[in-house]
Amino acid sequence: MPYVEAGLRFELPIAAGVRRNKLREAEIERDRLRVKLWALKSRVALEVRDAYMRLQHQGRMLEIARDAFDRVAKQKDQALEEAFAGRGEVGQLQWAEEFVGRLIGGPSWSAKDYMIVQAELWRALGELRDQLGVK
């Protein structure tokens, strides 16, 4: 005698609704993470750009400080030579020495500030690398 086998499958609307809700929740979570990633990328990009611009500015300030120091030191040397040659004035030499004394810290302070800003840029770049998982 032959056997006949039959099956019956039916889906309850509750199971389909649960699956649909889980899918919606997963899509919402995906969109939330996308927004969070975009915000993170934007924040880090802003920090990197800001640090880079400060580094460029500080580099120009360092050049200006070095140039000013070099010019005043050259003027002091010329005033000293003229004083020894009997052509210069003592007041000019005193002014140049005083000005060199005031400017002597300029390049070193500018160099220190440059290194600080450079470290901020490397920190921002490192944070970008760490946050995005780039090695």
Please report whether residue 37 resides in a domain: no
Average predicted confidence (pLDDT) for the chain: 77
- Residues 67-93 have a mean pLDDT of 75
Count of C-beta atoms within a 10 Å radius of residue 100 = 15
Least-confidence region, from 41-45, 78-82, 92-96: 92-96
Average pLDDT of the segment spanning 42-54? 86
Residue 90: inside a domain: yes
Q: How many structural domains compose the chain?
A: 1
Query: Does the residue 116 lie in any domain?
Result: yes
- In the block, residue with structure tokens 């005033």: 79
Looking at the domain assignment, is residue 33 inside a domain?
no
94 vs 11, higher pLDDT: 94
Task: Estimate the crossing angle of helix 90-103 against helix 13-85, to 10 degrees.
Answer: 160
Residue holding tokens 């649960």? Answer: 18
Residue 17 lies in a domain: no
pTM for this structure?
Answer: 0.56
In a domain, 65, yes or no: yes
Range of the domain at 66: 48-132
Contact 107, 66 (CB under 8 A): yes
